[in-house]
Chains A and B, each alone.
Chain A
Amino acid sequence: MNPPLSSQYLRFAAVIGLLMPTLALAHVGQGDVSGGFIAGFEHPILGLDHVVAMIAVGLWGAQLGPPAIWVLPVTFPLVMALGGLLGGLGVELPSVEIGIATSAVVLGAMVTLAMRPPLWVAGVLVGLFAIFHGYAHGAELPESANPLTYALGFVVATGSLHLVGITLGLANRWSWGTRSLQAGGAVIASCGVYFLLPHLAGA
């Protein structure tokens, strides 16, 4: 007889057995995770005007260094959510799409020129644009989605875009990185101009 071997069998069998009820119970939840979360997560990522502006926020934060590098990712989601609150409550905000396109132009230009204004100026500028971005998302909630999972997906996507920008911006410590960041800022600003053109032509 070989007791260790048989106890191995028993342990394995017990693990399999224990897993089964868990699988069966897995749909007890009431959270509607997939429905709202995916819609919310896609929303900022599928709109290129949001993507470039969020990346620009991260790049600029990394260029400015501490404390901006962490002040921006902590405060941006909060200010953006306040914009979403305005959008959800139906408060009228003029020219939201123009504001979003302008944010890409201005933030891209800041990164291109490696501007270093005082922290509060950078904060107010980014905060102003954050309100426009949040407003657009808040006003566009699909009827069917669970608001919480939608908001969660949306905040996680936006925050991840900041983190991507900050991570890319860490290249700023090398001279080639500084130049690449400025080139990236120029690309973002030109995207902003491209988004802005139809609005200007239409006006």
Chain B
Amino acid sequence: MGAGSRAFAARAGAALGLVFGADVACAHVASAQAGAFYAGLLHPLTAPEHVLPMLALGLLAGQQGLHEGQGALLALVIALVAGAGLAPNGLTPSWISLLNVGWLVVIGGLVAASWRLPIGLLYALALGFGATHGYANGAALPSGLSPAIFILGLATAALLTTGYGLVVADALSRLKPAWPRVAVRVAGSWVAAVGILVLGMGGKAFGGL
């Protein structure tokens, strides 16, 4: 066997090992608590009822400007972690689910109105929203997973989506034509409309979230 073919065999072996090794590693993720992180990350990201208001809060913060709005991210994460940490496992009470739909209306409506908010009000919104959403997500902790790492995943998801909204709204507000700012307001209006329709179609159906 020549040196060249040995090197090739080694490379191929490394590639195969990585490809199939990932599958094997997958079977261990729960015990390594990587599963808890992904479960926490994906729980809000795979549900539009969590993604929509987080994006909308980011847009609202971004409308205030990057400098003024970025504190909302910190307020959101603190409240989210507190809410998720304090939530007992089990069904979310229906008034919290109703409140979570209500946030769609409040935050989406404010984005549509495009008002310059007192910065304290923005933080208060982020805190209140974070607490009830943290509760709803924390209550859904799958059994056997580490709560701390699950909540770390939740906080990462919240930071990513809200931070994305913040950066996009701020970047669009710096553009010269008016229509990108209008597009942000239209997005807020759509989010609020979804919230109002859900309230109309029966908040009861949301009791199980």
Contacts and interface: CB of A to CB of B under 8 A. Distances in A.
B128 to A, nearest CB: 20
B15 A9 contact: yes
B152 interface: no
Interface in B178-195: 178-179, 182, 185-186, 189-190, 192-195
Given A86-B200, A148-B194, A150-B201, A25 B42 contact: yes
B196 interface: yes
Given A9-B14, A10-B15, A78-B192, A89 B200 contact: yes
Interface in B156-209: 178-179, 182, 185-186, 189-190, 192-202, 205-206, 209
Contacts of A152: 48, 52, 194
Given A28-B43, A31-B48, A77-B190, A20 B182 contact: no
Given A73-B189, A81-B192, A84-B201, A20 B22 contact: yes
Contact of A24 (B26, B112, B182): B26
Nearest to A91: B200
Indicate the size class of the contact surface on chain B: 35 or more
Contact of B199 (A78, A85, A149): A85
Judged by DSSP, the binding face of B is: helix
B21 interface: yes
A156 B194 CA distance: 9
Max chain A Cβ within 10 angstroms of own Cβ: one of B29, B52, B197:
B197
Contacts of B23: 20
Contact of B205 (A21, A80, A147, A159): A147
B198 A17 contact: no
Contacts, number: 148
A88 B201 contact: yes
B38 A25 contact: yes
Interface in B49-74: 49, 52
A75 B199 CA distance: 18
Nearest to A150: B201
A136 to B, nearest CB: 12
B182 A155 contact: no
B151 interface: no
Top 5 nearest A-B pairs (CB, nearest first) are: A29-B46, A88-B200, A17-B22, A85-B200, A81-B196
Interface of A: 1, 6, 9-10, 12-14, 16-18, 20-21, 24-25, 28-31, 33, 66, 70, 73-75, 77-78, 80-82, 84-89, 134, 137-138, 141, 146-152, 154-156, 159
24 contacts: A6-B14, A13-B16, A20-B23, A21-B22, A21-B29, A21-B38, A28-B38, A30-B47, A31-B46, A31-B47, A70-B178, A73-B182, A75-B189, A77-B189, A77-B192, A78-B189, A81-B200, A134-B197, A138-B197, A147-B202, A147-B205, A151-B194, A152-B48, A155-B197
